[in-house]
A and B are shown apart, each in its own frame.
Chain A
Amino acid sequence: MKILNIVETAYRATLEEQDDTILWLSHALKNAGADITLLLRANAVNYAVKGQNAGGLTFGSLQQEHPPQLDKDLEAMSEKGVPVYLVEEDMLARGLSDGNLITGITKINLESLPAFIDQYDQIWHW
């Protein structure tokens, strides 16, 4: 069963979670044996930007010790064999170019998206 996880929503409670919950879920599904592919679209394309830094938050006397590292999470998943794609038009619309991205990301354009999703048995749009 080939699963395509499409991630659209970005930075939703990532500081509280210290993760993106869908990236985390995708990684956990891979660990459980799932054949999973990740597609970043809309604002979630920004997860592939290198150099994100969410550190430095303090609440009263409590400092957040392990802020999210979404780019690193994507790299870890990619190294584990999860193919990671992003929608090129969404990347360009946010002023991003190839030089902004971590390695291991494959771009796909909107025109080819229908044929792309057609390869998968399950399409989970988060």
Chain B
Amino acid sequence: MNSGKTITLAIMDAPYESANSTTALRLIHTALSQGNHVNVFAYEGAVNLTMKAQQPHPNPVKGTSVEEEAHPTTKDWIASLFALAEKNNVKLDWINCGLCVDERGAGDWIDGPRRGGPKELYEVSQSSDVTLVIPTK
């Protein structure tokens, strides 16, 4: 199952703002499913993707309750990606840019991610088979 290969992604978009975030999560899901290791460098607004305080909400337009709506949170999707990595015996190394976290007050995150910076991006990129930057606009 473990391919021994590693993909590094650098992402920047905040949750609920861009299709880029969803595409990045789809890529991570597929890469882990294929047995690859994945590094993520979450830069700027992307550090909010893993914030623990995210909560699903009801949808008053559709008239659905919180339970009925089952609104996605990016932190739950990412927690599920960590579980997938564990199940497939591969590593998901999620690095939240520390300074980006500080300026956003986004330090309370789910289990899994670690704090880092440009040095860590450089290190994981050097040991990866490929690095893909998905910037914001």
Bound Cα distance from A122 to B133, whole angstroms: 10
Is A32's beta carbon under 8 Å from chain B? yes
A117 at the interface (CB under 8 A from B): no
Q: Is the CB of A21 within 8 A of B133?
A: no
B137 touches A25 (CB 8 A): no
CB distance from B48 to the nearest CB of A (A): 14
Cβ of B118 under 8 Å from chain A: yes
Q: Nearest-CB distance from A76 to chain B (Å)?
A: 16
Assess whether A125 is in contact with B135, with CB atoms less than 8 Å apart: yes
Measured between beta carbons, the chain B residues less than 8 angstroms from A124 are 10, 131, 133
Among A25, A31, A33, the residue within 8 A (CB) of B43 is: A25
Contact of A126 among B103, B118, B135 (CB under 8 A): B135
Interface stretch among B28-36, B58-66, B86-94, B120-128? B120-128
- Residue count of chain B within 8 Å CB distance of chain A: 17
For the A-B complex, the count of residue pairs with Cβ-Cβ distances under 8 Å equals: 38
**With the chains together, A124 CA to B128 CA distance in Å?**
14
Task: Using A9-B137, A12-B137 as known contacts, say yes or no to A29 and B10 having CB atoms under 8 A apart.
Answer: no
In the complex, A110 has a CB within 8 A of chain B: no
Residues in A whose Cβ lies below 8 Å from that of B135? 8-9, 22, 125-126
The answer on a CB contact under 8 Å between B10 and A21 is: no
Query: Which residues of B105-137 have CB atoms within 8 Å of chain A's CB atoms?
Result: 117-119, 121-123, 125-126, 131, 133, 135-137
Q: A13-B44, A25-B121, A33-B122 are in contact. List 4 more A-B contacts (CB 8 A).
A: A21-B44, A32-B123, A124-B131, A125-B133
B interface list, Cβ under 8 A from A: 10, 43-44, 103, 117-119, 121-123, 125-126, 131, 133, 135-137
A interface residues (Cβ-Cβ under 8 A, vs B): 1, 8-9, 12-13, 17, 21-22, 25, 28-29, 31-34, 122, 124-126
A-B pairs with beta carbons under 8 Å apart, 17 shown: A1-B125, A1-B126, A8-B135, A9-B135, A12-B136, A13-B44, A25-B121, A32-B123, A33-B122, A34-B122, A122-B131, A124-B10, A124-B131, A125-B133, A125-B135, A126-B133, A126-B135
